[in-house]
Amino acid sequence: MDPATPTAAGNKSVVVVLGTRPEIIKLGHIIRLLGSAASIVHTGQHFDTGLSQVFLEAFGLPAPDAVLGVGGARRGIQIGRIVEKLDSFLRTNSPDAIVVQGDTNSAVAGALAANACDIPLVHVESGLRSFDRRMPEEHNRVVADHLADLCCAPTEVNRSNLRDEGIPEDRIVVTGNTIVEAVESLLPGPDRRAALLVQHKVEQDRFVVSTFHRPENVDDPVTLRIIIDQLAHIPVPVVFPVHPRTAARIQDDVGLREAAEQLLMVEPLDYEAFLGLAAECAMLVTDSGGIQEEASILKRPVLVVRRSTERPEVLGTFATRVEPGPQITEITTNWLAALPDLHLRLATIPSPYGDGTASSRIVAAIPRLTKGA
């Protein structure tokens, strides 16, 4: 894709608001397709090199047109600061539409600012519901969906959630999830994957990749200790790229630090390295949203350690959900014993997240709601 190619958005100007790693991953292809029509506003929610810069570069995206620099404040302050700064940016630039993605504070703040400035709003990855009101993300996604003029629902399950909340059909489009094209474009080939195995001192199908960053799992040291001890008991090595939030919790607690030394702890990986390892591993153990989707594309089983999930499409096929506790070791050990048949079976199941055309469907749908279209 050439970023300079004229796009389905025509001459419309579109502000794309993002602030975290998964938003860059899932908006990367949309921004490239929008080409010169797109302005990127980075809120600064996670503006460090490992979680931001390397992902912008991986997708060949330009530096953001604006960085709001809100930093890691608590939720209400962060949302408030983004809305205020975005309001100024939008009033100066008067775009034809705003795109936000997912369920972050940046997404809900982008939605609120678009609404306050009377600019049409596109919500990418719309209609996901965990029905778990303890999660701030659930509130963020509900607000963004109800403010959106165009709800881009990855699956029919998501469309049905939106309908159930009274969102009219003409505001919904089912697109697939843009994660499919993200994985397809950045999954490294066999040579790079072999090099990654050597670098991390692991063997194909004989290691686990694990990530944890959700407050419900990492903020309480007792819960985090249960998870780390369980991971340490899995009978193959566990590669553990540590999210900055989790790293801070481990750093604060000597017991957690010692327990975590039994894992192969690494800094957050760039996207290509993460996908390469995920494609070669025996299984994934995570509380991430995006990794549940990636497992269905890479055909790997994923153990989701969460109280709830907003991605029921993969439950019973690629994903099993448990709460922190002994089931983590039990289930992963059973899965290890079931290889390679388990991988062969998963390889026959299509991903529920579409065929890699979500980004182009979304870009094609934008002109119909921009002013003057």
Contacting residues toward ligand UDP, per CB under 6 A: 21-22, 25, 211, 213, 241, 268-269, 271, 274, 288-291, 294
Q: How far is the CB of 238 from ligand UDP (least distance, A)?
A: 13
Task: Please give the structure tokens belonging to residue 270.
Answer: 């760039």
Q: Are 223 and 324 in contact (CB under 8 A)?
A: yes
Distance CA 250, CA 244 (A): 10
Q: How far is the CB of 25 from ligand UDP (least distance, A)?
A: 5
Q: How far is the CB of 242 from ligand UDP (least distance, A)?
A: 8
Displacement of CA 250 from its chain's centroid (Å):
23
Distance CA 130, CA 321 (A): 13
- Closer to ligand UDP by Cβ: residue 9 or 153: 153
- Closer to ligand UDP by Cβ: residue 211 or 360: 211
Write out the DSSP string of 282-310.
Answer: SEEEE--SHHHHHHHHHT--EEEESS--S
Distance CA 184, CA 241 (A): 22
Write out the DSSP string of 325-349.
Answer: STHHHHHHHHHHHHTTHHHHHHTTS
Q: Could you give the 3-state DSSP secondary structure of residue 276?
A: helix
Q: Give the closest residue to 313 by CA, choosing from 118, 127, 40, 189.
A: 127
Q: Would you call the peptide bond into 64 cis, given omega within 30 degrees of 0 as the criterion?
A: no
- Closer to ligand UDP by Cβ: residue 97 or 283: 283
Give catalytic residues, as residue numbers.
213
Q: What number of H helices and E strands is found in the chain?
A: 17, 13
Q: How far is the CB of 181 from ligand UDP (least distance, A)?
A: 13
Q: How far is the CB of 5 from ligand UDP (least distance, A)?
A: 26
- Closer to ligand UDP by Cβ: residue 351 or 370: 351
162: exposed, middle or buried (Cβ count in 10 Å: 0-12, 13-18, 19+)? buried
- Closer to ligand UDP by Cβ: residue 21 or 32: 21
